[in-house]
Structure 1
């Protein structure tokens, strides 16, 4: 039986250091509101020796796989916690399977999580993931999603169904759920976004989509808004007046939504690096959305030149703990493995030190070695030597930022804060110039699945 589970959640940011100060990641201005409860918990009652995966959105514009593994011989409850920074989280998960007739079946569950209902309790048996405690309003959320999905399947299977007939059914669904969800803000938004996304599939330039986005006042995490924004930008990427977008004609929320759509579209494998969208890339880089997470976003839409990366990397000047000069190529030749994770850190950076301690507790894959680059000032090298021994960093070197060759490298990969993790292979090919932090759930899973990552 083939089975996959999709769960949509939302945003997480980790603090970083820049010089001797700790910096909090910028918030989304008018969009994010401070909440009393700071975490969301997901618990799954799982059978012995079972495994499942949830697709989790840590940011409103990207997702990753969160694993639940019960390795014990008994049924166990596994709990994961994620930040609760938004008003509402639209979540969903779906099972993909085949019935006795070998027909493909998809079973969906949808719900809303927020300050009132921040704890998700689920149970996994041999065939399905179910709620232990169903929250109010989730039955309607389920119904909205499944109704639009079923209509889409109907249209896909029946090639003779006219577009006008589909539009009538969509209008009917929209009106029906609009009445039911009139006093439920989130379900009302979900209904409208799913409706408009289906409409733009048959009428790509329908003005209602633009008007809806221009009037929007919040970011709603989840697949409904993500799909709507992706398709809207896809339909308008080559005709948008990008210069006009940088005026006061539009609200901050509209620009934020459009930027998310642009990012989702530009990172898509078929669009990545396509010169047709150079103007869109240039505009995206002017937005607050891009500036808040520029290192991560840039690597997704405009990856670095691997050839230039290797040139800069090979010229680095490093000192070992005995004060002897050494090159990265010699470090690799003396410590052979398939992959290397370069950790830029400093003794004054609390998140950096926490990252090292977190990695020390992990079972890092045997084909990965961590190389520590301290960017401490020259006057603090003795402090670095003491701290690096305390942290038990095996491959540890001092990285003098003032050296022209070193400065050229950090400027090339745009190191603006630490900790910063750069993933390379044994031939110094770049895999990821801004890898996940050890505190992020996808850090270890990505390292374990490193062979599936693409080289830039």
Structure 2
């Protein structure tokens, strides 16, 4: 489980020096035990930002920093050091010439960095705690372009595979030039993640997984881990998947891959994967966190979720009260995708932009429910208009609603729930629109 220590300071320039001194003291202690990372954000005025960070299961969680004061404020949070090397990233929009322009920034935290300090101004965070020579944004950008090209190509034929593979090899060779040791580790991870999408069964992917000692925590590795499991789940000989035949590191990382695969909505409780579940239950991963893992891989009772969702209340821009039933009743679609988001969740915004570009089924409507606080109603209304959201509603802050979001695990955003016109729960936790198989998974539930 993740434990966060939250410290907030309101200070002037002199106060900032005091904060830096405190952080330095914390850093000395951290250097001795090297078991945590301090991340701090200095706000010049009111603002919000959330970093994407990997948990021990290589899944994203949002580490949020919220300053409701107009004063110069530094917010400090401490997170456990789970990985030797990891990327943290955040997405957002900055105002350029009166127009919002999307940006994404990636920051590498290696074993030598125990303190990360940012300045937040004009809705953007700038790294100031040290001079980072690693050009992570550039590395991400060049591989992401190739990744997008593969996604847009659909099912690849042999000629396409050869062409894309040739492009990957050239990119890999050139990007390794003048790269630092840690950059090479990251580049290799990007390389394998792209190779896997071209040739899923390539031996180099198996070699990478079986020889990895300390994987870099980043989205490319999470992708490798899930797809590696997905591609081989019916090929594994679970009776021989043990430390007698493989390294402990491989068994440990594979157990995370199996767990992430089994927690995937379409795989939960599927008898087809009983051998995988039986194997997972015998692993160290399961024994160390059995209650959480069991809950994650067990199908949710759709009837209970349905009953809870029906009790949620929200309002439109004119303060008119609504419930899910009422919204569905006012529409004529056969299917509804409920998108839970907030104005300050940059991945939420980017997912909305992505889904706007998709060729969605014509009998599908999207219901946008913002989880912003009531005091941010103006921001929600403005952002809804900017994003051209026709069915946009604002969550009502009352005790009943707050209890419901905890019961149906709506604490992590974005979250997508697919229902039909009769309010049947088709998928209670859809993958996000930015994930490659989103449209494929969506259409698998929808009959034209």
User: TM-score under structure 2 normalisation?
Assistant: 0.57
The answer to whether residue 363 in structure 2 is matched with residue 367 in structure 1 is no
Shift in alpha-carbon separation, 1:258–1:97, aligned structure 2, 3 A = farther
Contact preservation (8 Å) 2:44, 2:73: yes
CA-CA distance at 1:138 after TM superposition: 2.3
Query: What residue is the counterpart of 1:178 in the other structure?
Result: 176
Which residues of structure 1 form unaligned runs of 5+?
1-10, 15-33, 309-364, 370-422, 436-444
The answer to whether residue 86 in structure 2 is matched with residue 89 in structure 1 is yes
Aligned to 1:164, which of 162, 174, 181?
Answer: 162
Query: What residue is the counterpart of 1:291 in the other structure?
Result: 287
Q: Name the stretch that deviates more: 230-239 or 299-308.
A: 299-308
Query: What residue is the counterpart of 2:73 in the other structure?
Result: 76
- Between 1 and 2, higher relative CO (CA 8 Å, sep ≥ 6) is seen in 1
Shift in alpha-carbon separation, 1:276–1:135, aligned structure 2, 3 A = farther
**1:76-101 superposed Cα distances (whole Å, 9 cap, x missing partner):** 22221112344333322233679889
RMSD: 4.0
CA-CA distance at 1:289 after TM superposition: 1.6
Shift in alpha-carbon separation, 1:218–1:13, aligned structure 2, 3 A = farther
Query: What residue is the counterpart of 1:52 in the other structure?
Result: 49
Contact preservation (8 Å) 2:53, 2:89: no
The answer to whether residue 99 in structure 2 is matched with residue 123 in structure 1 is no
Alignment of 1:372-411 (within 5 A): none
Query: What residue is the counterpart of 1:28 in the other structure?
Result: none
The answer to whether residue 200 in structure 2 is matched with residue 204 in structure 1 is yes
CA-CA distance at 1:66 after TM superposition: 2.4
Contact preservation (8 Å) 1:117, 1:135: no
Q: Which whole-Å CA distance do the structure 2 matches of 1:450 and 1:145 have between them?
A: 25
Q: Which whole-Å CA distance do the structure 2 matches of 1:138 and 1:176 have between them?
A: 16
Contact preservation (8 Å) 2:193, 2:223: yes
Contact preservation (8 Å) 1:53, 1:65: yes
Contact preservation (8 Å) 1:265, 1:271: yes
CA-CA distance at 1:180 after TM superposition: 3.1
Q: Which whole-Å CA distance do the structure 2 matches of 1:158 and 1:86 have between them?
A: 34
Shift in alpha-carbon separation, 1:78–1:290, aligned structure 2, 3 A = same
Query: What residue is the counterpart of 2:138 in the other structure?
Result: 143
Contact preservation (8 Å) 1:110, 1:138: no
**1:13-40 superposed Cα distances (whole Å, 9 cap, x missing partner):** 79xxxxxxxxxxxxxxxxxxx9723331
SS of corresponding position for 1:138: coil
Q: Which whole-Å CA distance do the structure 2 matches of 1:91 and 1:58 have between them?
A: 11
SS of corresponding position for 2:213: coil
User: TM-score under structure 1 normalisation?
Assistant: 0.56
Alignment of 1:234-245 (within 5 A): 234-245=230-241
Shift in alpha-carbon separation, 1:54–1:236, aligned structure 2, 3 A = same
Q: Which whole-Å CA distance do the structure 2 matches of 1:88 and 1:212 have between them?
A: 17
Which residues of structure 2 form unaligned runs of 5+?
5-30, 305-396, 418-427, 430-448
**1:268-300 superposed Cα distances (whole Å, 9 cap, x missing partner):** 222222222222111111111221111111111
Contact preservation (8 Å) 1:266, 1:301: yes
Select the structure that is richer in helix. 2
CA-CA distance at 1:200 after TM superposition: 1.1
Shift in alpha-carbon separation, 1:85–1:263, aligned structure 2, 3 A = closer
Aligned to 1:63, which of 60, 66, 71?
Answer: 60
SS of corresponding position for 1:122: strand
Q: Name the stretch that deviates more: 121-130 or 258-267.
A: 121-130
CA-CA distance at 1:45 after TM superposition: 2.4
Contact preservation (8 Å) 1:54, 1:65: yes
Work out the number of aligned pairs and report it: 299
Shift in alpha-carbon separation, 1:58–1:73, aligned structure 2, 3 A = same
CA-CA distance at 1:118 after TM superposition: 1.5
Q: Which whole-Å CA distance do the structure 2 matches of 1:13 and 1:81 have between them?
A: 8
Higher Cα Rg, which structure: 1
Q: Which whole-Å CA distance do the structure 1 matches of 2:413 and 2:266 have between them?
A: 26
Alignment of 1:433-452 (within 5 A): 446=411
SS of corresponding position for 1:180: coil
Contact preservation (8 Å) 1:60, 1:221: no
**1:248-282 superposed Cα distances (whole Å, 9 cap, x missing partner):** 11111111111111112221222222222222111
